[in-house]
Structure 1
C-alpha cells in the first residue's frame, strides 16, 4: 500500500544525473513579480532565466521585463543551450537572474547568479531549501536573502509538463536577493492566494 503521509509525499528525490525537469507554472512566476518584487521596479530591467526548459518562466518574465535572455543546459527547443555554471557570462551582465534551478544545484546557481546579476537574484525552491547546515554556511549566514516569499497555496510541479489540474504536497517559496540594497534583516512575506487571478488559458496551450 502506498504511504500517502505528507511527510513522505513532500519529498522528491531525483537521480544525480536527472535534468530535474519540473516546469514552473507561469502564474507562480507572475506571483514573484506582483507580490515580492514589484512590477514597476523591473519595467526597464533585463533578466536572465538560465534554466529555462520549455520557456514557461521566461515567457511570464517577458510580460514584465524590458528584455529576457533564456538558456538551459539541455536542448528543449527554447532559448540557448548553455550550462549556467560554466558558460562565461560577464559579471553583472544582467539586472536580474531569475530561475527555478535543479534542486541539487541550487546553491551553485545562487553563487553564480550573484556574479552575473547587477540588481537582484530570485530562485524558486522547495521551502526546505532554508534548511541544512551546509546551505547556512555556504549562503544564508553571510548572504541571506532580502525576501523569503512563501506561497500560501501549493504550486504544482509535474515532471515534464504544466497541468492546470495538477496538485502537490510540497511547499515552495521564492528566495530573493536585492544586490543593490543591504537590508538589516531578511523580510518574511507570504504570497497570497493568487493562482486564479494570475493564471491564463494560454499557459497550458
Structure 2
C-alpha cells in the first residue's frame, strides 16, 4: 500500500510489525490519516487504537467483519462513515500460490472522527483499471 500511495504523490510513513513496530503499542507516528490492512484477528483492537489516536482512518477488513453479534456494540459506539466493499477479490499473495484466485471478500471501512456523522454510507467499489489486467 505504501508504494502505491507514494506513486500517487502522497507522503507516506510505513510501519510494520515485521520491522518491530507494533501499531497497538508504539507511540503514534505524526500523520493526517491512518490507512492499514490490519491482521484480521486484531481488527477490533486496531479500530479501538485508531479511534484513541483520533485521526481519520481506513481499515481493510474481511467482508463479514460486522456480521458478528459481539461486534454490534463496537459498530454502535464507533460506526464507520463509509463501508466500501470491493467487487473483486484482491490477491494478497500476488500469484505466489496457485493461480491467483483468492477466496476472501474484503471491504474498506473508513472513519472520520471529529466530523459530523450522518450514518454509515455503503458504496461498492468497482475494480480499478490495473493496466489492462482482468
Alignment-derived partner of residue 33 in structure 2 = 96
| Distance in 2 of aligned mates of 1:198 and 1:178 | 28
SS in structure 2 of the partner of residue 175 of structure 1: strand
Correspondences of 1:52-67 after superposition (within 5 Å): 57-64=1-8, 66-67=10-11
Residues 65 and 180 of structure 1, relative CA distance in 2, 3 Å threshold: farther
Length-normalised TM-score, structure 1: 0.57
Pairwise CA distance, 1:150: 0.7
| Distance in 1 of aligned mates of 2:92 and 2:69 | 26
Q: Alignment RMSD, CA only?
A: 2.2
Alignment-derived partner of residue 14 in structure 2 = 70
| Distance in 2 of aligned mates of 1:96 and 1:136 | 25
Equivalent residue for 2:77, pick from 142, 160, 173: 142
Alignment-derived partner of residue 131 in structure 1 = 67
CA contact (8 A) 1:94 1:116 kept: no
Residue segments in structure 1 that go unaligned for 5+ positions in a row: 1-56, 76-80
| Distance in 2 of aligned mates of 1:65 and 1:132 | 38
Which structure's residues are more often strand, by fraction?
1
Residue segments in structure 2 that go unaligned for 5+ positions in a row: none
Length-normalised TM-score, structure 2: 0.85
